[in-house]
Amino acid sequence: MTSKFLRSFLTIAVFSMISAWAQTSSAAAPAAAVSAPSAASPSATITTGTGSRIGTINIEQAVIGSNEGQRDFEALRKKLEPKQNELKGQNDELESLQKQLQTQGDKLNEEARASLVKQIETKKKSFDRSVQDAQEDAQNQQKEIFQRILQKMAPVIIKHAQESGYAMIVDTSNPWPQSPILWYGDNGDITKAVVDLYNTQSGVPAPAAGAMPKPAAPKPAAPKSSAPPAKQ
């Protein structure tokens, strides 16, 4: 699954990139447009094709499901593993301290209990900052990969739409009501066709059997229980 950040990024990225490619496509061939959810900038102009068919594409699946996407997101997942393990260790340490406070707090003298509470508070603040920084870094790297691949995939989508007689291609990455598309069938979906065409163009080999695209951001679970206040 992609992060919520990646999903929200799709609206702007898909709209701006693909509409730009549609507007600058060859004058000899009718341009086809890929629409984006209504949240996209209303000032942008979309060039529609002259065909009569309306097709769909899941841009998110197309980018992440391409050979290049699977390769690069898996490489990112492995790159982020050390930081994720580090955060997990911090989380485990924090939970251990909280458990110690819950089970032994009543047996500690006031000074020892206050010291333990302070230690928990300090470590939790540090942990929360580390998680936020790690997530922002991971999301930025996800965005870079997604944008880079989409930049190269956009003309493939346009060309396929033109040659297949589509008047419009709509993105189905987000479900209704996050997007204006209430329902669509599978007959007009061009996601697989675009992925196959892009894989051929990119020359990136298919990943090893069983490999799955995993754009990953470290999301260790924060301790559920908060430290009780020190005894007065």
Cβ atoms of 78 and 33 closer than 8 Å: no
pLDDT at position 8: 44
pLDDT at position 184: 85
Cβ-based burial of 52 (10 A; exposed 0-12, middle 13-18, buried ≥19): exposed
Tell me the angle at which helices 67-104 and 191-202 cross, rounded to the nearest 10 degrees.
110
pLDDT at position 140: 96
pLDDT at position 50: 62
pLDDT at position 84: 94
pLDDT at position 44: 42
pLDDT at position 120: 95
pLDDT at position 209: 73
The structure's pTM equals 0.69
Cβ atoms of 30 and 49 closer than 8 Å: yes
pLDDT at position 220: 44
pLDDT, averaged in runs of 10, over the chain (232 residues): 45 46 45 38 47 89 97 96 95 94 88 93 96 95 96 96 93 89 88 97 88 47 46 46
pLDDT at position 187: 87
